[in-house]
Amino acid sequence: MDIRKLFGANVRYYRIAAGLSQEAVAERMGVDRAYVSMIERGSQNATLLSIHETAQALDVKPAYLLADPPAGFDQ
Amino acid sequence: MDIRKLFGANVRYYRIAAGLSQEAVAERMGVDRAYVSMIERGSQNATLLSIHETAQALDVKPAYLLADPPAGFDQ
């Protein structure tokens, strides 16, 4: 799986698990909602610092966002 | 710990564990040795695709490179 899609699927998984909207995550990160949407679609080649900010916004460890997503969630 | 330093410490840990030189890792990645050195020094804000290539060169999962490094190894 393309690592950008893997990252996106995990961001989406943890965002939904936290009951947050893309808007809420974007606000926490200080970015536009469209950026969060691009991340979740797997079209963003995020940098380490963006991965860190996304993990902080979702209150998870950065490594979780590159781990294999839970079975069935990467559709 | 700055995520760039965390990534660098992990790359160095797994490189040494695999008995590889920076030169050997650079060759596997198709980059210059100086790039691997900058990554290990924590001065590179690597992207997801670079993280993926580094993980492949070290034959580890990308998430390992963002996990907490083994105790005592982050000097």
> In this predicted model, what pLDDT tens digit does every residue of B13-35 receive, in sequence order?
999 999 999 999 999 999 999 99
What phi and psi values does residue A16 have, to the nearest 5 degrees? -65, -40
Task: Round to whole Å and give the CA distance between A1 and A41.
Answer: 13
Domains of chain B: 3-64 (1.10.260.40)
Please tell me the predicted confidence (pLDDT) of residue B1: 86
Q: How confident is the model at residue A75 (pLDDT cuts 50, 70, 90)?
A: very low
Residue of A nearest to B67 (CA): A63
Task: Round to whole Å and give the CA distance between B25 and A61.
Answer: 26
**Interval B51-65 mean pLDDT:** 97
**Interval A42-46 mean pLDDT:** 97
CB interface of B with A, residues 18-37, below 8 Å: none
Q: Measured between CB atoms, does B5 come within 8 Å of chain A?
A: no
Q: Measured between CB atoms, does A5 come within 8 Å of chain B?
A: no
Q: How confident is the model at residue B72 (pLDDT cuts 50, 70, 90)?
A: low
Instruction: Say what the ipTM of the complex is.
Output: 0.91
Q: Measured between CB atoms, does B41 come within 8 Å of chain A?
A: no
Q: How confident is the model at residue A1 (pLDDT cuts 50, 70, 90)?
A: confident
